[in-house]
Structure 1
Amino acid sequence: MGLKDPGKGSRVNGKDWKGQKDPFRIKRLGVTKPSNFKEREVKKLQEQQYRARLQELKQEKEDVKKQRIADLKRRREIKEEKERYEKLAAKMHAKKVERLRKKEKRNKLLKER
């Protein structure tokens, strides 16, 4: 705020006793964004490449995780199937043994008559 400049004449609003303020300009402070279009394009391209690579890495990680889960499920299914067949085989064997025992018992009873 400087004193009134006599060469400027009187102010429009009539407040001649107040000092004149300079307009607030960001450029005067030295704060500027890159105005060069090529620089912005290069930066934008780098950002896109970075995001693409990040997405690719995330996708790879997700694929590995899904593959691991699928393998685990497959192994569990195979194990359950194997256990089921073992139970079935044991059951069938027990039935066969039971049939033989009954047959032997019948034969023994027939022989005793």
Structure 2
Amino acid sequence: MSTEVATAATAPQVTAQAQGMRKNGKQWHPQKSAFRPTSGMTSYEKRQEERKATAAVKAKEKEMKEEKEAERQRRITALRDKRAAKEEKARYEKLAETMHRKRVERLKKKEKRNKLLKS
């Protein structure tokens, strides 16, 4: 029984400091701390380091966005080229139904020459 009393007496009291009743009666509002205007100030070097870090993050984000957009554009152009080739093939097949095969091939060559001259 004496050991129980000794341990209870030596244990530190870790309770919050009791505040009295507020004078204005608004106990439900949180307690405010004193206004310290210089508490948020940091050194110039620390601010510069933070700016460098944010600039590096923004540069990485921009690079990732550009890569994503380039991949998207590549897919779009590949799809357009595929559709154009499909339409051209269908057009030549339609011509081949009415014309001779050799004449269609000559037209193809002629059109390819014209395309190369335009671009």
TM category (shorter chain) comes to 0.5 to 0.7
**Deviation for aligned residue 1:40:** 0.4
SS in 2 for 1:46: helix
Number of residue pairs matched by the alignment: 68
Q: Which runs of 5+ in 1 are unaligned?
A: 1-23, 94-113
Which residue of structure 1 lines up, in the alignment, with residue 35 of structure 2? 26
Matches within 5 A, 1:31-42: 32-42=39-49
Larger Rg: 1
User: Per-residue CA shift, 1:23-80, capped at 9, x if unaligned?
Assistant: x96328xx72242110000001000110111011011101100110000000100111
TM-score by length of 2: 0.52
Runs of 4+ in 1 over 3 A off after TM superposition: none
Among all aligned residue pairs of Structure 1 and Structure 2, give the percentage whose two residues are the same amino acid.
34
**Comparing both structures, which one devotes a greater share of its residues to helix?**
1
1:89 aligns with one of 96, 103, 109: 96
2:87 aligns with one of 65, 80, 94: 80
Q: Which runs of 5+ in 2 are unaligned?
A: 1-32, 101-119
Higher relative contact order (CA 8 A, sep 6+): 1
* RMSD, matched Cα: 2.1
TM-score by length of 1: 0.54
